[in-house]
């Protein structure tokens, strides 16, 4: 089977693509042509086996024809990722997104850059084939869109951002390019540093500019992370928080949930207007608390207030971070105080805060650490149909060793 199909008259570009895909499973089939047929079927009929994962429309093709071809592929064969090799411009990026193009590649890109982009496109194609990508989410029982997961903590300093970034990276393994993490800590958000990103656009641009009216524009404002996820980072200047209100947050989350299978929100500590707006739109809340009296009592108070306000999302996941049996508190003490079971306990770890400081989440780094198991358990709770499995309990008692 040809996993990759390239259409271009450019011999040099073909050589670089072939070098980039050498060693990857599957083969590359090159159509040396400076035009495109009427439809994708004319190309696919010339291939053996199943349709390819990635189609690269290389330099030398007419741009409008390439965009039309990409639109037809997105409609007829959504499991195929289209990569367009052309010089970028803002107008072209928008047109490409609307046509269903997965990525835009510079015609002068070297083999390493081509390989990264092809691998990313392959991951997206694989996710859609498994029915885990955003396009499949609309066909799921949750017809209103993807899952919106608010990572919460009434108190700061409990590792909320660390949990949120690892959750997003872990979900990226389930649904490549179907996950976006939003930094809603508008004053002091750390998602950008936690993921080692230097974003060109922030949440301010997303809610105040043309992106607020067009989801295709919004996707161009997102930062792409190597773990096959997107990120929308906090404002560069804390003062910009005053320009963003609850209605902006609501509109943003409505847009994102229609485009992504998972929307992970790293909220600010406390229960401000932006956090309450996130909760109103969330399907899940991940409650993070440390193994100390202030954060445990803060969680109890937060749950009580939100219950009275009827703002508790449908699904609850309680995470005990930095769990340590030598802290003077037992797991039963924590549960008795907050009044609900602890679902996931993440052991105290030196590696976990180090990975955050380094900008490489533990689930991306792959390092062996006791905290990895707890983080994996949290990610698994968001697998499709997890709650329907008879051998699973909705709230399992965590174990602190």
DSSP type of residue 381:
T
* Predicted local confidence at residue 401, as pLDDT: 41
Report the C-alpha dihedral over residues 271, 274, 279, 283, rounded to 10 degrees: -150
d(Cα 80, Cα 231) in Å, to the nearest integer? 23
Domain boundaries, the chain: 2-129, 147-388
pLDDT in the model for residue 131: 53
The stretches in the chain having pLDDT less than 50 are: 1, 132-143, 391-392, 397, 399-401
pLDDT value of position 276: 92
pTM above 0.75, yes or no: no
Q: What is the architecture, at CATH level 2, of domain 147-388?
A: 3-Layer(aba) Sandwich (3.40)
pLDDT, tens digit (0-9, with 9 covering 90-100), for 234-260: 998 989 999 999 999 999 999 999 889
What are the Cα distances from residue 304, in Å, to 179, 296, 308, 338? 30, 13, 6, 9
Q: Hey, do 2-129 and 147-388 end up sharing a CATH topology, with the first three levels equal?
A: yes
Give the model's pLDDT for residue 128: 62
Q: Is the CATH code 3.65.10.10 the one for domain 2-129?
A: no
Q: Give the model confidence (pLDDT) of 179-221 as tens digits.
A: 999 999 999 899 999 999 999 899 999 999 888 888 778 888 8
171, 303 Cβ separation under 8 angstroms: no
What pLDDT score does 149 carry?
96
- Apex 220 CA angle, 195 and 207, nearest 5: 85
């Amino acid at each position: 089977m040809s996993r990759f199909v390239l259409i271009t008259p450019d011999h040099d570009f073909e050589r670089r693509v072939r070098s980039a895909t050498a060693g990857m499973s599957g083969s590359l089939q090159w159509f040396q042509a400076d035009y495109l047929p009427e439809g994708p079927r004319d190309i696919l009929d010339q291939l053996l086996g199943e349709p390819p994962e990635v189609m690269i429309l290389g330099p030398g093709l007419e741009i409008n024809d390439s965009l039309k071809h990409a639109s037809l592929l997105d409609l007829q064969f959504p499991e195929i990722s289209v990569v367009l090799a052309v010089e970028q411009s803002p107008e072209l990026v928008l047109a490409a997104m609307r046509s269903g193009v997965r990525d835009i590649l510079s015609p002068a890109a070297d083999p390493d850059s081509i390989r990264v982009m092809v691998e990313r496109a392959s991951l997206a194609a694989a996710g859609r084939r498994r029915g885990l990508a955003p396009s499949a989410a609309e066909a799921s029982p949750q017809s209103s869109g993807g899952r919106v997961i608010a990572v919460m903590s009434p108190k700061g300093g409990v590792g909320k951002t660390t949990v949120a970034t690892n959750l997003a990276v872990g979900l990226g393994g389930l649904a490549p390019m179907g996950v976006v993490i939003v930094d809603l800590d508008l004053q002091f958000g750390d998602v950008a540093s936690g993921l080692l990103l230097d974003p060109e656009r922030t949440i301010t641009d997303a809610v105040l500019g043309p992106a607020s009216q067009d989801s295709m524009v919004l996707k161009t404002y997102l930062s792409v992370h190597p773990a096959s996820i997107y990120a929308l980072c906090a404002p560069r200047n804390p003062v910009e928080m005053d320009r963003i209100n609850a209605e902006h947050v609501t509109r943003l989350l409505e847009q994102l949930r229609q485009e992504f299978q998972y929307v992970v929100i790293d909220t600010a500590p406390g229960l401000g207007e932006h956090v309450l707006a996130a909760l109103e739109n969330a399907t899940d809340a991940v409650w993070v608390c440390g193994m100390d009296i202030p954060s445990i009592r803060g969680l109890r108070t937060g749950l009580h207030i939100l219950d009275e306000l009827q703002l508790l999302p449908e699904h609850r996941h309680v995470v005990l971070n930095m769990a340590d049996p030598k802290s003077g508190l037992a797991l039963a003490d924590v549960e008795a105080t907050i009044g609900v079971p602890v679902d996931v306990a993440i052991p105290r770890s030196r590696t976990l805060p180090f990975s955050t400081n380094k900008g490489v989440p533990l689930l991306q780094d792959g390092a062996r650490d006791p905290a990895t198991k707890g983080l994996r358990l949290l990610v698994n709770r968001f697998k499709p149909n997890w709650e329907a499995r008879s051998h699973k309990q909705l709230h399992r008692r965590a174990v602190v060793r």
